[in-house]
Chains A and B, each alone.
Chain A
Amino acid sequence: MSGKTLRIAGVTRTFAGQGRAKPTLALQPTDLTVAPGEFVAILGPSGCGKSTLLRIVAGLDTPTAGSVTLDGMTLAGPGPDRGMVFQSYTLFPWLTVAQNIRFGLQERGLPETEQHAIAEKFIARTGLKGFENHWPRQLSGGMQQRCALARALANDPEILLLDEPFGALDHQTRELMQELLLEIWEADRKTVLFVTHDIDEAIFLANRVVVMSARPGRIKAEVTVPLPHPRDWTMKTTPDFAALKARLMGEIREEVRKAAAA
Chain B
Amino acid sequence: MKPLVPVSAGARVVLGAGFFVMFVALWALATYSGWVPPLFLASPGKTLLAGWSLLTEFGFAGDIAITVFRVVGGFLIAAAIGVPLGLMMGAFKPVEAFFEPFVSFARYLPASAFIPLLILWAGVGEAQKLSVIFIGSFFQIVIMVAVIAGATRMDLVEAAYTLGARSGGIVRRVIIPSAAPQVMETLRLVLGWAWTYVIVAELIGATSGIGHMIMDSQRLLDTGQMIFGIVVIGLIGLVTDFLFKALNRRLFPWAVL
Which A residues lie within 8 Å of B161 (CB)?
A: 59-60, 77-78
- Is A185 on the interface with B (CB-CB < 8 A)? no
Chain B contacts for A92, CB-based, 8 A: 156, 159-160, 173-174, 177-178
Q: Judging by beta carbons under 8 Å apart, are A80 and B177 in contact?
A: no
User: Which segment of B49-57, B143-151, B162-170, B187-195 sits at the interface?
Assistant: B162-170
Q: Looking across the interface, which residue of chain B has its beta carbon closest to that of A60?
A: B158
Q: How far is the CB of A35 from chain B (nearest CB, A)?
A: 22
What CA separation (Å) do A152 and B161 show in the bound complex?
Answer: 11
Q: Please tell me if A33 contacts chain B, counting CB pairs below 8 Å.
A: no
A131 CB–B CB distance under 8 Å: no
Q: Is A82 part of the contact surface with B, judged by Cβ < 8 Å?
A: yes
Tell me how far the C-beta of B254 lies from the nearest C-beta in chain A, rounded to whole angstroms.
Answer: 4
Q: Tell me if B164 and A79 are in contact (CB < 8 A).
A: yes
B95 at the interface (CB under 8 A from A): no
Residue of B160, B180, B254 touching A103 (CB-CB under 8 A): B160
Cβ of A11 under 8 Å from chain B: no
Q: Are A84 and B253 in contact (CB under 8 A)?
A: no
Tell me which of A59, A84, A135, A137 contacts B159 (CB under 8 A). A84
Q: Are B162 and A78 in contact (CB under 8 A)?
A: yes
Residue of A nearest to B174 (CB): A92
Take A60-B158, A103-B173, A107-B169 as given contacts and tell me if A93 and B163 are in contact as well, using a CB distance cutoff of 8 Å: no
Question: For B99, what are the chain A residues with a Cβ–Cβ distance below 8 Å?
Answer: none
Are A94 and B159 touching (Cβ within 8 A)? no
A78 to B255, CA, bound (A): 29
Provide the bound-state CA to CA distance between A58 and B156, in Å.
14
Contact of A90 among B156, B252, B254 (CB under 8 A): B156
Does A151 sit at the interface, judged by CB under 8 A? yes
Q: Does A258 contact B (CB under 8 A)?
A: no
Within 8 A of B (CB), among A143-198: 148, 151-152, 155, 161
- In the complex, whether A129 has a CB less than 8 A from a CB of chain B is no
Kindly identify which residue among A79, A83, A94, A152 contacts B255, using a CB–CB cutoff of 8 Å.
A94
A108 at the interface (CB under 8 A from B): yes
Indicate whether A86 reaches chain B with its CB closer than 8 angstroms.
yes
Q: Indicate if the CB atoms of A94 and B178 lie closer than 8 Å.
A: yes
Given A94-B252, A135-B253, A107 contacting B164 (CB threshold 8 A) = yes
Q: A90-B156, A92-B156 are contacts. A108–B255 as well, Cβ < 8 Å?
A: no
What's the minimum C-beta distance from B106 to chain A, rounded to whole angstroms?
32
Residues of B near A104 (CB, < 8 A) are 163-164
Kindly report which residue of chain A lies nearest to residue B165, judged by CB atoms.
Answer: A107
Contact: A88 with B163, CB < 8 Å?
no
Contact A103 B162 (CB under 8 A): no
Q: What A residues does B174 contact at CB under 8 A?
A: 92
A88: B residues at CB distance < 8 A: 155
A135 to B165, CA, bound (A): 21
> Is B255 a contact partner of A155 (Cβ separation < 8 A)?
no
B29–chain A nearest beta-carbon distance, Å: 49
A155/B164 in contact, CB under 8 A: yes
Q: Judge whether A93 and B164 touch: CB under 8 Å.
A: no
* A residues less than 8 Å from B159 (CB atoms): 84, 86, 90, 92, 148
B162 touching A83, Cβ below 8 Å: yes
Residue of A nearest to B158 (CB): A60
| Contact code string B220-257 (vs A, CB < 8 Å = 1, else 0) | 00000000000000000000000000000000111101
Query: Which of chain A's residues have a CB closer than 8 A to the CB of B177?
Result: 92, 94
Closest A residue to B254 by beta carbon equals A135
Within 8 A of B (CB), among A53-86: 58-60, 77-80, 82-84, 86
Contact of B162 (CB < 8 Å), options: A95, A135, A137, A152: A152
- Complex-state Cα separation, A84 to B161, whole angstroms: 10
Complex Cα distance A60/B159, Å? 10
Residues from chain B with a CB closer than 8 A to the CB of A103 are 160, 163, 165, 173
Which parts of B98-125 form the interface with A (CB within 8 Å)? none
Closest to B178 in A: A94
A129 to chain B, nearest CB (A): 21
A86 and B155 contacting across the interface, CB-CB below 8 Å: yes
Taken together as a complex, chains A and B put the C-alpha atoms of A103 and B164 apart, in Å, by 9
State the Cβ distance, B87 to closest chain A Cβ, in Å.
15
Among B155, B163, B257: residue with most chain A CB under 10 A:
B163
Q: Give Cα A56–Cα B156 distance, bound, in whole angstroms.
A: 17
Minimum CB–CB distance from B16 to chain A (whole Å) comes to: 28
- The interface of chain B, by Cβ under 8 A from chain A, is 155-156, 158-165, 169, 173-174, 177-178, 180, 252-255, 257
21 residue pairs from A and B, CB less than 8 Å apart: A60-B162, A77-B161, A79-B164, A80-B163, A84-B159, A84-B162, A86-B159, A90-B158, A90-B159, A92-B173, A92-B174, A92-B177, A94-B180, A94-B252, A94-B254, A94-B255, A103-B163, A135-B254, A137-B257, A152-B162, A155-B163
